Amino acid sequence: MKRALFPGSFDPITLGHYDIINRGIKLFDEVVVAIGVNADKKYMFSLEDRKAFIEKSFENKPKVKVVTYEGLTIDFCKEIDAQFILRGLRNPADFEFEKAIAHTNRKLSKIETVFLLTASNTSYISSSIVRDVIRNNGDYTKLVPESVNVK
């Protein structure tokens, strides 16, 4: 089975993430969306909410699993037998950042990173932009899947 891990904080999931996951399930037998837990980071949405947003978005896609994890991504890949890390690239800055991580991961393990370019209509969206729109009472619904709701 070709299993890919798609790691991130998903605070919240965006239409860009949604697109990458949907395209990833065409390439892999299973895509594990892994929400990283970082105790030092302050999130807008709780871990439970972030997980629920993603699960609801993909409730009819059995090839998508949603989990949480702590520690090194490559260690978690080994734990769940994921041979690939899936990442989305929006721009050249993303590429440079992700390239360094991919080289490090390959040096420390045999896990390959697969990059997908974001769709042009979602390449400008980031979770931090979405959070800023939400904080300022803007219409965030054009940037995230329907499952994301602000209470």
pLDDT tens column, 37-54: 987 889 999 999 999 999
Query: 127 an active-site residue?
Result: yes
Please state whether the predicted TM-score (pTM) of the whole model is above 0.85: yes
**CA-to-CA distance for 115 and 88, rounded, in angstroms?**
6
For the segment 141-149, the average pLDDT, to the nearest whole number, is: 95
Q: Which CATH superfamily is domain 3-142 in?
A: HUPs (3.40.50.620)
Query: 90 an active-site residue?
Result: yes
- pLDDT tens profile 9-42: 999 999 999 999 999 999 999 999 999 998 788 9
Write down the catalytic residue from 3, 90, 99, 106. Answer: 90
Outline where DSSP puts E strands in the chain.
3-8, 30-36, 64-69, 84-89, 112-117
- State yes or no: pLDDT of 66 exceeds 80: yes
Contact 125, 94 (CB under 8 A): no
- State yes or no: pLDDT of 151 exceeds 80: no
**Residue 114, C-beta contacts closer than 8 angstroms, at least 6 positions apart:** 4, 27, 84, 85, 86, 87
Write down the catalytic residue from 17, 50, 51, 87. Answer: 17
- State yes or no: pLDDT of 150 exceeds 90: no
Query: 87 an active-site residue?
Result: no
Query: 103 an active-site residue?
Result: no
